[in-house]
Chain A
């Protein structure tokens, strides 16, 4: 393999990893605040794909993109309100089952509304344009994804550590009651967390589907599962962990494809999952359990 091919593959892997990272953040943030694995997250990502198809059919891209981001955010927050919020004091297992229900509901709804046939994902002008840097050539989206991911992660971490809403999110994810005693509105903080997770999933979906070119009702299942594994790998609850996990999975998968083992590229994710669970069940940056005095 020449150096150029190697770098080319690295770039592809980093780009896929960036999209994974954006989706994985949604899993990790929701887990952090509700201790819930939001099984519907991958399907929200899939719905964002369909929203884009219909938005682009009737509006220019620069309106369609913010429109899709908004609608996806509303969908994510709405799901929380309808399916999770009423179960706030129910056992965690009930909420989890509700999440699985929402996941199936979205998949079946998409099948019913849009049929199971893959639909072509629209092209956002400029994203598919081929760029050449030295011997490397790739579409703009490939270069753009990791950069955008890093910028968004930086903004998110700043938000969490340097704003009042971020402070509320950290407090609520530690202790609902004490957070409430500070005057924090728990439900609003949880809604905000879902909004951010869904927004990032929508951005991830644009980057991901632009590369894949089609959307079908189960488009969210495998990427969703992979991003969940990425979040577990990084230590669920940890945002830097989800980002690292996303990049590791994206690059590992791409490396296997490049080496000619594309049949095993999906299995790679689960090998990673098994290894991390055996070696370090809390993940790379997993929460240390703090003892309450």
Chain B
């Protein structure tokens, strides 16, 4: 289980995350929603070890990981699919899938077949350079690559960004399947609050560096304020 306690993140004196606390229980789907610039990506990047926390602590399975380097966190089972996908454009689809399993020394065949089953399109295109895939395919590849590390918790930073609604639906279905079939914990960031709240067991709302509201996905989905602010419906 992941536990974030009073996490603060500074960028050159500007406090982007102002002491937030939340928990991600095992095998759950938790989402952080909020407007652009609220500090969602910064939070995930701090959990992955890409930015330093300037205060507070992050613990995973009871162990304090606040100052562990990124690679060590991956080894513990924390994997981030970064915002903007960041597949390796000059590598083939299959190489991208394999590099996700960089820290593993066991046979990958079974897991490769498993991600191919989740994303049949990646199997068709396994020889293609990742840079030539469409946006939706790159997002699928980024998720597949993340799964190859055998994560305990998979963090997804705006997987629906810039994708057609039908692809977004497909990605969210897969997120649910990953969680239910493989028992992987998911921490999801979204601006597409509607979709995220539908799949989430628990949701946190972030505004300018602070958590302002929390509840189950269904509760927030029904909340008037949330509807007005994030779902584009009138009060």
Please give the residue numbers on chain A whose beta carbons come within 8 Å of chain B beta carbons, in ascending order.
Answer: 164, 167-168, 170-171, 174-175, 177-178, 180-186, 290, 292-293
Contacts and interface: CB of A to CB of B under 8 A. Distances in A.
A175 B88 contact: yes
A292 B85 CA distance: 9
Contacts of B75: 183
Contact of A293 (B82, B99, B138, B149): B138
Contacts of B25: none
A182 B82 contact: no
Given A183-B70, A293-B138, 10 more contacts: A164-B102, A167-B102, A171-B99, A174-B88, A181-B74, A182-B103, A182-B145, A186-B71, A290-B89, A293-B135
A181 B95 CA distance: 15
Contact of B80 (A164, A170, A181): A181
B98 interface: yes
Nearest to A161: B95
A166 to B, nearest CB: 11
A6 to B, nearest CB: 41
Nearest to A293: B135
Interface string B32-56: 0000000000000000111000000
Contact of B85 (A171, A182, A290, A293): A293
A178 to B, nearest CB: 4
Nearest to A184: B102
Interface residues of B, number: 30
Q: State the main secondary structure of chain A at its contact with B.
A: helix
A167 B50 contact: no
Interface string B192-232: 00000000000000000000000000000000000000000
30 contacts: A167-B99, A170-B88, A170-B91, A174-B89, A174-B90, A175-B88, A177-B50, A177-B82, A178-B82, A178-B86, A178-B88, A180-B50, A180-B69, A180-B71, A181-B48, A181-B70, A181-B74, A182-B99, A182-B100, A182-B102, A183-B70, A183-B149, A185-B69, A185-B71, A186-B71, A290-B89, A290-B131, A292-B86, A293-B85, A293-B162
Nearest to A174: B88
A184 B71 contact: yes
B88 A181 contact: no
Contacts of B99: 167, 171, 182
B191 interface: no
Contacts of B79: 181
B71 A183 contact: yes
B57 to A, nearest CB: 21
Contacts of A183: 70-71, 74-75, 102-103, 149
A167 B80 contact: no
